[in-house]
């Protein structure tokens, strides 16, 4: 699929050709290797007293909008105590920019409390993405994923180009998650749109190592499609096995089977993008 342009991916009604273009770049960069991370999500306002039974997490992730810096710090401290050696990540840049204090001060306080990384930067919604990235990293926190909050049909190429430009200027991003985290009421996407967006992101943002899809947001079917058209990383696989469907139906076996069914090699990582040995 050499020579396929981003505009052709967007404008050509042939979804197979678009997917092949994304997959071609993905395989040149990663071969069949496909990473995934099991995440234990904990809401900032509802921390449990102990970890759930049958949990095996590569990341403990605080989610939700903290009501104050004090509440965020307290949640991080409690999560770090629960997590032990598991990396504790939390919040998005947009979440933290909603607090009263300057972002740099917020991040410094959270790092001191035990946070390792901010989960993602919404490139379309966060204020001053370049300055925000510098503020997060200057506090000693990792910020490895660029995400998209809401996207319109006419913004898809521009968003991918902005992600690539941010990486070119600042570096350090490990993944780009191009599918919107919030669906637009006026311009909802379809599965065809999502597959095309994954392919477009892979072709445009070649300076970002991984194209990521969220397992919880988009589900196993869309995740598997995404892996065949350019994605190579699956975020937010459940870390808790309810134990009611048997080992072969556990979240771990489900994600491994999903990846293998796409003809790819499943490799588990942790929240720091380091290969995990379990």
What's the average model confidence in pLDDT over 124-138? 97
Please give the pLDDT value at position 183: 74
Which CATH superfamily, name and number, covers 6-269?
Aldolase class I (3.20.20.70)
d(CA 29, CA 241): 32
* Domain residue ranges in the chain: 6-269
d(CA 258, CA 266): 9
The residues that bridge with 178 in the sheet, in sequence order, are none
What's the average model confidence in pLDDT over 42-66? 93
What pLDDT band is residue 233 in, cutting at 50, 70 and 90?
very high
What pLDDT band is residue 98 in, cutting at 50, 70 and 90?
very high
Is the pLDDT at 188 greater than 80? The verdict is no
Is the pLDDT at 187 greater than 80? The verdict is no
Higher local confidence (pLDDT), 185 or 120: 120
What's the average model confidence in pLDDT over 177-194? 83
Please give the pLDDT value at position 75: 97
d(CA 33, CA 263): 10
Give the C-alpha distances (Å, rounded to integers) separating 271 from 14, 57, 139, 221, 264: 36, 9, 18, 23, 21
Please give the pLDDT value at position 3: 65
Please give the pLDDT value at position 8: 84
* Residue 146 and residue 163 in contact, taking contact as beta carbons nearer than 8 Å: yes
What pLDDT band is residue 190 in, cutting at 50, 70 and 90?
confident
Question: Comparing C-alpha atoms, which of 157, 220, 233, 160 is closest to residue 191?
Answer: 220
Torsion of CA 106, 108, 113, 117, to 10 degrees: 90
What pLDDT band is residue 35 in, cutting at 50, 70 and 90?
very high
């Amino acid at each position: 699929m050499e020579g396929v342009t981003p505009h052709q991916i967007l404008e050509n009604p042939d979804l197979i050709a678009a997917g092949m273009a994304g997959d071609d770049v993905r395989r040149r960069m990663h071969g069949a290797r496909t990473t995934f991370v099991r995440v234990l999500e904990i809401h900032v306002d509802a921390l449990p007293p102990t970890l759930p039974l049958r949990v095996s997490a590569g990341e403990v992730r605080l989610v939700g909008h903290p009501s104050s810096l004090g509440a965020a710090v307290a949640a991080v401290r409690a999560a770090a105590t629960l997590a032990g050696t598991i990396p504790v990540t939390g919040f998005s840049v947009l979440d933290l920019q909603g607090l009263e204090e300057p972002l740099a001060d917020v991040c410094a306080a959270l790092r001191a409390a035990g946070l390792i990384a901010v989960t993602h930067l919404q490139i379309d919604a966060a204020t001053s993405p370049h300055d925000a990235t510098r503020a997060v990293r200057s506090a000693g926190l990792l910020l490895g994923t660029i995400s998209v909050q809401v996207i319109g049909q006419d913004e898809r190429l521009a968003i991918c180009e902005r992600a690539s430009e941010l990486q070119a200027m600042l570096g350090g991003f490990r993944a780009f998650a191009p599918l919107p985290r919030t669906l637009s009421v006026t311009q909802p996407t379809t599965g065809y749109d999502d597959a095309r967006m994954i392919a477009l992101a892979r072709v445009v943002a070649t300076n970002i190592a991984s194209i990521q899809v969220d397992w919880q947001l988009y589900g196993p079917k869309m995740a598997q499609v995404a892996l065949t058209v350019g994605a190579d990383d699956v975020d937010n696989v459940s870390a808790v096995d309810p134990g009611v469907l048997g080992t072969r139906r556990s979240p771990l076996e489900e994600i491994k089977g999903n990846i293998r069914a796409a003809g790819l090699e499943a490799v588990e990582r942790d929240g720091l993008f380091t290969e995990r040995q379990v």
